[in-house]
Amino acid sequence: MFAAGQRGVALSACDTERGHRVAWAVFGDSVALIAVGDDARPPLRRLLEDAWGCMVLVLGRDELRDVRNVERLKRALRSVYPLLDGLLDRAGDRGLLGRLTRCADCLLPPEPAPLQDALRAFAQAAASDFGCLLVGGRVAAATDGWWRLPPDDALLLGLLLRGPWATASSDRPVFLPRSSPAVAFRLLRVTLLPGADACVLCGPEPRLHRAVTELAGRVWAPQVEALRGCLEQRGCGLPASAGVHRDVLALLLIRRGGGRSLSHCAPPPAAPARPTPSPARRWELLGRFYAFAAAHYLGPAGGEAEPQEEPQEAFRRGHAHQPLQCYLVTEEECKC
């Protein structure tokens, strides 16, 4: 790419006179990707890596590296465009902060144990170690194998499974960019209720028809009411029984070691005592506050990063928001 012919020069990004940032990278010695953004959040380098991951997820690494017919590759890449559109559509992530936290968006069901047992039985029937139950785009239950997937693989699978194109049971080959970029798995997705799907990564069996007509009914029929209870949480990572204080407008819990995050936005009261931000605005503020906190206080492993300036001053300038209070709790201290 730019400056590649200059010995000892490595240039991967630049800023324009109008304040935009341009970043680029070459993947597989065959595909060059360029991103242009108005800020550095999310980092453009990460966006490029995710875009490459989407391409590998659908086509496989070898198809992208060994380019023998450019026109054929262009036609094949059309199948990746909807996934790339989903990657760029921040509005479609409302209530889902996984791409910011690099952790799976989770949901805590009112009764998690029966759903976990049902998912385990469904995955075993499909001869798979990798299974998850998605409710409204959030992971309500998952097998141990699914949690062992590299975070990047799990995030891209989640993006593929919750897109607007994913509206019915499906069976498609996928390559895992980190753990299996050259050998495809079958991604079997069975819709249990509108908005609730059981998904497994498996081999040639079972066929989709058998999974839908036989396995799903046998395993999931007793859990219909539990699934409906999860669907009632729409936009809330925590059940009503969690007893979140009414003054907490939104919260984000992250388990970095396990690659999991849980975000919660309390439903607005019928007759609020004072004006409060809309749910959409709450999600926006929560995402912005996390991005600010991650840049100033959290290291890559979730530890404390050295602030570049006085924390209180940095907070006031970087996240000017007077009516509400924001709190950051780490293992060592609490900042507000």
DSSP string computed for 286-297 = HHHHHHHHHHHT
Q: What is the pLDDT of residues 117-129, one digit of tens each?
A: 999 999 999 999 9
Q: What is the mean pLDDT of the chain?
A: 83
Specify the DSSP element, H or E, that contains 176: strand 170-176
> How much is the average pLDDT of 159-165?
81
pLDDT over 70 (residue 325):
no
Domains defined along the chain, listed by start? 13-89 (no CATH), 108-231 (3.30.450.30), 242-335 (no CATH)
- Please give the Cα distance from 20 to 25 (Å, whole number): 17
CA distance 154 to 259: 9
* Range 189-203 average pLDDT: 95
Angle, CA 87 vertex, CA 84 and CA 89 arms, to 5°: 110
Q: Which residue, 115, 116, 120, is CA-closest to 130?
A: 120
The lowest-confidence range among 32-46, 135-149, 215-229, 243-257 is 32-46
pLDDT band at 179 (very low <50, low <70, confident <90, very high): very high
Structure tokens at 289: 């506050």
pTM of the full predicted structure? 0.83
| 55 has pLDDT over 90 | yes
Q: What percent of the chain has pLDDT over 90?
A: 44
Residue 233 has pLDDT above 70, yes or no: yes
Please tell me whether residue 336 adopts helix, strand or coil conformation. Answer: coil
Judge whether 198 and 122 are in contact, CB under 8 Å: yes
- Identify which of 188, 184, 206, 210 has the alpha carbon closest to the alpha carbon of residue 197: 188
Q: Is the pLDDT of residue 199 over 90?
A: yes
